[in-house]
Each structure stands twice: as C-alpha cells, then as structure tokens.
Amino acid sequence: MPRRRSPDTRRLILDRATDLASVEGLEGLSIGRLAEALEMSKSGVIGHFSSKEDLQLQTVEAARALFEAAVIDSQASRRAEHGRERLAALVESWIAYVASEVFAGGCFFWAASAEFDGRPGAVRDRVRALTQRWLETLEAEVRLAQRLGEVSDDEEPAQLAFELHAFVQEANWARQLLDRTDAFDRARRAVERRIAAAAPGALAANDA
C-alpha cells in the first residue's frame, strides 16, 4: 500500500521514530524497523528520507520540536515571571516532561547524547548544538535573575545551570536504569533547594 508523501504521514513516522530511538538508539532506526513498527510498507516510509542520516536528523528535529513545545513554550514556563520563578518553571517543566514518559526510553536527548558523543558527524553536531542551546537558555535566565536581584551575584550562571541540568539528567538515568520511580521527586527536591540556596541572602550556601 504505497502512500503519498503527506506531511501527516511524515509526522506519524517521525513520532514513532523518536520513541523507537529513545529505546533502541538512533543507529537502530531503519526504514525496515520503522515500517514494521508502524505496520506500513517500506515503500510508504522510504520516500520521506533521503538517507539514514537524513532520517536520524529529522528524528532529532522532531524531538526538538516536542521538547520546545512542552518545556520552553509550556504554559507554566510562559506564565512564570522572568527571574527565579521562570528558572524554576523551566526546570520543573523539563522534569514533568521527562517524567511523563513521552518517549518510551526516557529523555530522547540523553539517549542520543550517549549514543553519538563518540560518533563525529552531522547527528552529533546537531544533538550537541541543541543541548548546548538548552543549557544557554537556563544560563540566560540565571543572568536575568541576577539583574533582577533574585539570584546572588556570587553565583556563576554556567555553574548553576550545570547543577540544575545535572539533577534532571540524573533522574532520567535513575528512572531508566534503576527503575527508581522516586527519581523525579529527588530531582525536584534538589532543584528547589539549589535555587533557594542561590538567593542573595542564602549566605551559608554560598560560602563553599
């Protein structure tokens, strides 16, 4: 049953691809594997992609779009006032997104990071650029919170972003490998405490 290359079919394929890739890896993606998972013919899948790398890159873009819609452009993130409140909302939206298991294998970008960090090429470059951009979004919000007087000037934005980012990646890891259902609550506690410790008055926490 060959199909036209409709945008809807492409979206359906990529939706399944992000899910499969989170479990089996981007390298495990193939036209055959996708056709099987979608109960489509290979010919229905193949026309949408010019190469395996194109399939991988389009899958990364699909995951990016889902992430941005659910985290950066979420109602919770957009409604929060800029500063500490927005910083907390961004991280909480991210935790909720990963915890909701949108992808069967947990955080798409975490899985793609581990798979591609040692494989030079366009896929690694794109995954790297997107995760870098997310870290920079968090850093920019820390800087803005500092200008607003809500985060101590002693905090280095990149350091605070590193720590907050670490808690969420750790939760994803603990959930996926150790089946720890409490992992996201641990991340929430760590994030809440760390953001509280970054407040201008929280001196003891800024001593170290």
Query: What region does 109 belong to: left with phi over 0, alpha with psi -120 to 50, or beta?
Result: alpha
Site for its own copies in 2-41 (CB under 8 A): 22-25
Q: Which listed residue (9, 12, 72, 173) binds its own copies by CB under 8 A?
A: 173
Q: Which listed residue (53, 132, 147, 153) binds its own copies by CB under 8 A?
A: 132
Give φ, ψ of 15 to 5 degrees. -60, -45
Say whether residue 208 binds its own copies (CB under 8 A): yes
CB atoms within 10 A of CB 45: 26
CB atoms within 10 A of CB 64: 19
Question: Given the complex with its own copies, which of 49 and 123 has the nearer CB atom?
Answer: 123
The interface region with its own copies, picked from 6-14, 73-81, 89-97, 165-173 by CB under 8 A, is 165-173
Please give the Cα distance from 103 to 22 (Å, whole number): 6
CB atoms within 10 A of CB 73: 11
List residues near its own copies by CB under 8 A: 22-25, 104-106, 110-111, 113-118, 124, 127-128, 131-132, 158-159, 162-163, 165-167, 169-170, 173-174, 176-178, 183, 186, 189-190, 192-197, 201-205, 207-208
